[in-house]
């Protein structure tokens, strides 16, 4: 999995199609990018529920734009460690301080940064942004990403262990017995 992580890159805000993608296209687009992480699939019904509950805005003429897709990327990743209510709170905090583009691009850089660090591809995580640019919102986002990357790492390790042959247990020395 480390090789997948080394090559993993989220599309930046301006790289997300803004021509409007239909629901099935949106789901395929998000899932294709997140596939290397191994555990983040979304479905059409999930997206419809996010719209119904107001987590993302309604599509215009049944088409999702770059901002909605950016929010779906974040939801898809963060839902493994946060409730939808807390994700909505993070969105509200972010909207008060940053544009969707700035917040999403920071999320992408921080996710890639922490994935590489967690998988041992770099010795230290980088500081994304400037020291004076740090805020409670960014700290909470970073903490979310750290938790997510650890879940991704553990899932990949458990998956690779399941693919390997089970280890043969070592025999106990003759003078020791197992008590029940």
Would you say residue 3 has pLDDT above 80?
A: no
**What distance in Å separates the CA atoms of residue 1 and residue 63, rounded to the nearest whole number?**
34
Helices (H), 53-99: 66-78, 84-97
**What distance in Å separates the CA atoms of residue 65 and residue 44, rounded to the nearest whole number?**
15
Comparing C-alpha atoms, which of 3, 25, 5 is closest to residue 16?
A: 25
Q: Hunting for tokens 């987590």 — which residue is that?
A: 55
Q: Hunting for tokens 């990357």 — which residue is that?
A: 149
Percent of the chain with pLDDT over 90: 69
Comparing C-alpha atoms, which of 81, 116, 80 is closest to residue 8?
A: 116
Domain ranges of the chain: 2-157
Average pLDDT, integer, range 30-59 = 94
Average pLDDT, integer, range 93-115 = 94
Average pLDDT, integer, range 70-83 = 96
**What distance in Å separates the CA atoms of residue 156 and residue 119, rounded to the nearest whole number?**
10
- Position 132 scores a pLDDT of 67
What the block records as the tokens of 4 is 């997948």
Note whether 13 and 70 are within 8 A (CB): yes
pTM of the model: 0.86
């Amino acid at each position: 999995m480390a090789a997948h992580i080394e090559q993993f890159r989220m599309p930046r805000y301006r790289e997300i199609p803004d021509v409007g993608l239909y629901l099935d296209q949106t789901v395929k687009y998000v899932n294709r990018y997140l596939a290397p992480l191994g555990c983040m699939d979304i479905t059409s019904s999930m997206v419809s529920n996010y719209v119904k509950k107001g987590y993302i805005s309604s599509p215009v003429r049944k088409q999702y734009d770059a901002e909605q897709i950016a929010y779906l990327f974040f939801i898809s990743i963060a839902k493994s460690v946060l409730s939808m209510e807390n994700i909505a709170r993070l969105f509200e905090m972010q909207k008060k301080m940053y544009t969707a583009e700035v917040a999403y691009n920071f999320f992408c850089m921080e996710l890639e940064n922490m994935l590489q660090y967690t998988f041992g591809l770099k010795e230290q995580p980088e500081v994304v942004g400037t020291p004076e640019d740090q805020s409670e919102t960014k700290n909470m986002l970073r903490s979310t990403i750290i938790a997510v990357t650890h879940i991704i790492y553990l899932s990949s390790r458990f998956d690779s262990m399941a693919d390997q042959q089970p280890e043969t247990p070592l025999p106990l020395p003759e003078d020791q017995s197992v008590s029940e």
